[in-house]
Amino acid sequence: MLTLSILIPLLASLGLFFWSDVTKEKARLVALGASTLSLLCLVVVWLRFETGPEAPAFQSVSEVSWIDALGVAWRVGVDGMSLAVSLMSGLLFLCAIAWPAETKGRARQYYGWFLFLQGVSLGLFLTLDLLVFYVFFDLTLVGMYFLIGRWGHDNAEYAALKFFVYTLAGSLAILLAILGLVLANGTLTFDMRELIAAQPLGGTDLRSSLILLGFLVGFAIKTPLVPFHTWLPLAHVEAPGPASAVLAGVLLKMGTYGMVRIPFQMMRETFAAYTFPLAIVALVAILWGALVALGQTNLKRRIAYTSVNHMGYTVLGIAAAGAMIGSESVRTLALSGAVTEMVAHGLITGALFLIAGGFQARTGTYDLARYGGLARVTPFLMVTYFLAAFASFGLPGLAGFVAEFQVFAGTFGVYPVLAAIGLLGLVVTAALFLMMGQQIFFGETKPEIAMVRDLKHAEIWPLAVLLAFVVLIGFLPGWLLDMIQTGSAFASFHPSVGQ
Amino acid sequence: MMPLGDILPEIAVLLTAVIIVLLASFLPRHLQWTNAPVALIGLAIAALLLFSQANGEGRATFSGTYALDMASIEGRLLILFATAVTVLLSPRWFESDARHGEYYAMLLFSTLGAMVLAGALDLLLVLIGVLLSSATGYVLAAYHRDWALSVEAGMKYFLVGALANTALALGATLMIGLLGGPGFGEMAAALQAGEASPLLLVGLGLVTVGMAYKLGAVPAHAWLPDVAEGAPAPSAAFLTVVPKIGAAIALARLVSLFPETDFAIRALVAALAVITMTLGNLAALWQEDMRRMLGWSSVSQAGYLLMAVTVTSLTDHAIPALVTFLFGYATANLTAFAAITHLRGRTDRSDYAGLLKTAPLSAIAIIVAFLSLVGIPPLGGFVGKLELFLATIDGGYVWLAIAALVNTVVSLAYYLRFVTPMVLRAPSESVLQLGSWSCVATTIALISVAAVGIFAQFLIGMIGVSAFLPT
């Protein structure tokens, strides 16, 4: 079932690639159908998913051999974390594909690449093989490179190149670290389950530290954390709206997901030794992202920097959870917050970037100074914007709050000072979203944008679906938290067992 | 009684070459192309004979001078495959050449040289293989006798080659003299007992220079960009791939003779590896000419190959890494050159604008080939690089793996410099293509790039359990 949810979009993408005389509408229908089927497969897995402390570490597992000599195989399976993140990804992809996009006369290729990206992204979250994980990690780069390069705005070529080179550097660092980790294990296998059980490396000797550093740098580039974030604003500004939504909503999660799945779970002791510096870096990302976002005059750039800020919360949560100080319940809370933040940020920022794409399609610009007084002209757009913005800075009753509350509550139990400073980030993001909303929607209506249309039906329902989940998670977080806290990532760990 | 059955594949290639020489002298001009199918049949027979040798064991034949291990068998299969693709590229390319039938004979003789290198367990046999492969290579590079660039390529190949082959012969003499014989087995025994003498190191250094020439590695790499740019495109495809396969395996065998300590050979090869990959990459960065860029990229790939040679016999992964990487590199490079041949040798970067629209097959082939050369999964180049990194780290040369990693990131930049205009720019003109022969060749090569990645188990599984002679 999991394999199907990866294969359906990939096969459909291949089909679109060869179906040369397909019309735009048909291409879109094929893409929507494949994306929906893939999501349905995940929903089936979700319905069968057992929650609670007795549930197995990974569920819906299946395995097909690939390169036996290296211990590499096609292995898929989910725990609560990966199920939650992949469900979010499937949903976001469906909404991004449904969003009416400017395909520049190449609809077939546009939808083909989107489906490709959906397949490989789900593959990354669902696989249980380190090498296959890496394979998908790299393939997402290829997919995104073409999406940004071919359907982006003016400076797209440069942005796509920078994105590819930066993140390839990160992924190669990860590859070396993966090989180091696998070789440290006695038997040659890339099976995540075995590596988690074996904990091949421990302590803070040079080798373990370097391997950990490789993972953290690689994932920090993807996440991105300051100072490795400079590719992100550029890529976002140049990418088309739906691609931005997927980039922020799904691809950034690969960094934090990988951070939890690999260094956090497979080398706990080494990870624990370095959580404090990691938390500090996360804190810098939180504050830097918020402050720089405040200074931006470009709509998309501003949202892009808030992503740096939000992913900072996630990493802060992961760092707090990995530290072996404080009580276990506090650390569980922090990790649960981090994973919830991944889901929430995906939904919220996905919606925000779709909205930003909507602005661009209407006015041709992201420059905030050109906007003003849209409240009367586009009430729907205003409602969705403010709902997403409130959720983003963590208004209670919305998904962002559930995530950020847990992250900070958990971090207070481990690093109280850092958590207190980090709260400043929340204040700044609240200010910047409100100011941006004021700028766009209130005041005098600028004459050159007075004629823009409000949201079309095809734009309303993707946003409505995303925001409905934001509200649902905000009011009833229980089902999501139960799911997230089930399985491998949340299994309790006792240092003596690993030795 | 000589065990002639053990070298039947080589005999098949040799006989085919002789038949082609005869046919080419008698066939009328418009039938010269019929030599291509003859060559293909000969190659297919040789490949079938090789398959029958592949039983997962390693043994030596002809009094221990010729290896029939999996490295040799898989290497020779790859050589045959690369030659077959080159043959497919040739008929239309050389159509206007009155006597082009002889070209196939030259190709097969050169193939034979590379095959001998892949199996040689004797320094004199290595020398013969290098000379056979070189002497024919000069002709292949300069086959367009009336075209200055082609003659220049052949000339440069010849001049560097003459120097390197002299170094090889001199080095071989010193080594044989000091170690008491040309056979790898006796050399290994003498090396285990003896100590490093300055003269032996000089000899070894000279032999390494000779092999570096065939590999296209520093310090004898200067011919590669010129051959890639100026030689006939099928020859360029052949010469950037086939000699490397034989030379890499031969050099790995040579390095495996030396004990881990006391001899500086591994440090030397590692240094050459880093210099080669870095130089090749930096030089490729600013090329405006597709074929010249591929030439420099081929230099840098030789650097990666030397990584596997460095850790030979230090880790079990070394030989699988070497062979898998060779498969990944050879298929990708062949694909790129096949596509270029199919485009009638188009080579200026600006001429590639919009190619994805005007010539989709060639454009896709080039893009996939580049992605494989970078090492993007699940293509052949990825499995090769993966094994390579695994072997280098396992063999204790972590710094070498990191250097290769930095180089890989740099290499992405120049490959993408050529991909970007193909995908993103508007097409400028209509594209002339070469016809069905090269179209088939491109398709086959393209499929093989993906197949190496997906079916890597067959490559690695067989070679992982087999011994690597002479150890």
Domain ranges of chain B: 4-465
Helix (H) or strand (E) holding A66: strand A59-67
From chain A, the residues in CB contact with B374 under 8 A are: 168
The confidence score (pLDDT) of residue B279 equals 95
> A108 near A141, Cβ under 8 Å?
no
What's the maximum distance between 2 C-alpha atoms anywhere in chain B? Answer: 67
Domain that holds residue A469: 2-498
The count of structural domains within chain A is 1
The confidence score (pLDDT) of residue B262 equals 67
Residue of B311, B388, B405 to mutate, interface with A, max A Cβ within 10 Å: B405
Q: How close is the nearest chain A Cα to the Cα of B425, in Å? A: 9
> A186 near A255, Cβ under 8 Å?
no
> Mean of the pLDDT values across residues A183-191?
86
Q: Is the pLDDT of residue A356 over 50?
A: yes
Q: Least CB-CB distance to A149: which of B383, B393, B424?
A: B424
Give the N- to C-terminal CA distance of chain B in Å, as an integer: 26
> A347 near A470, Cβ under 8 Å?
yes
Helix (H) or strand (E) holding A375: none
Per-residue pLDDT of chain B (471 residues; tens, 9 = 90+): 678 888 999 999 999 999 999 999 999 888 888 999 999 999 999 999 998 888 767 788 888 889 988 899 999 999 999 999 999 999 989 888 877 889 999 999 999 999 999 999 999 999 999 999 999 999 999 998 888 889 999 999 999 999 999 999 999 999 999 988 899 988 888 888 877 788 888 999 999 999 999 999 989 999 999 999 999 999 999 999 999 999 999 999 999 988 877 678 888 999 999 999 999 999 999 899 999 999 999 999 999 999 999 998 888 889 999 999 999 999 999 999 999 999 988 888 888 888 888 888 999 999 999 999 998 888 999 999 989 999 998 888 989 998 998 899 889 889 988 988 888 788 877 778 888 889 999 999 999 999 998 888 888 887 777 778 776
Strands B66-67 and A72-78: unpaired
Q: Is the pLDDT of residue A498 over 50?
A: no
The confidence score (pLDDT) of residue B15 equals 96
> A433 near A349, Cβ under 8 Å?
no
Q: How close is the nearest chain B Cα to the Cα of A386, in Å? A: 37
The confidence score (pLDDT) of residue A439 equals 86
> Mean of the pLDDT values across residues A366-387?
85
ipTM surpasses cut 0.90? no
Helix (H) or strand (E) holding A73: strand A72-78
Phi and psi at B82, nearest 5°, equal -60, -40
> Taking Cα atoms as reference points, which of A332, A340, A333, A190 lies closest to residue A253?
A340
* Distance between CA atoms of residues A3 and B194, nearest Å: 58
> Mean of the pLDDT values across residues A469-487?
88
Q: Least CB-CB distance to A176: which of B376, B402, B456?
A: B402
Residue of B393, B399, B455, B465 to mutate, interface with A, max A Cβ within 10 Å: B393
> Taking Cα atoms as reference points, which of A129, A41, A133 lies closest to residue A87?
A41
> A74 near A10, Cβ under 8 Å?
no
The confidence score (pLDDT) of residue A499 equals 34
> Taking Cα atoms as reference points, which of A91, A84, A88, A90 lies closest to residue A59?
A84
Q: What is the pLDDT of residues A213-269, one digit of tens each?
A: 999 999 998 888 888 888 888 888 888 888 889 888 898 899 999 999 999 989 888
CB contact under 8 A, A172 and B409: yes
Q: Is the pLDDT of residue A363 over 50?
A: yes
Residues of A with CB under 8 A from a CB of B: 65-70, 131, 134-135, 138-139, 141-142, 146, 149-150, 156-157, 161, 164-165, 168-169, 172-173, 175-176, 179-180, 182-183
* Neighbour tally for A306: CB within 10 Å: 30
Residue A30: CB partners within 8 Å, gap ≥ 6? A12, A15, A16, A22, A111
From chain A, the residues in CB contact with B376 under 8 A are: 138-139, 141-142
* Distance between CA atoms of residues A271 and A294, nearest Å: 33
The confidence score (pLDDT) of residue A495 equals 53
| Eight-state DSSP code of residue A61 | E
Name the pLDDT band for A494 (thresholds 50, 70, 90).
Answer: low
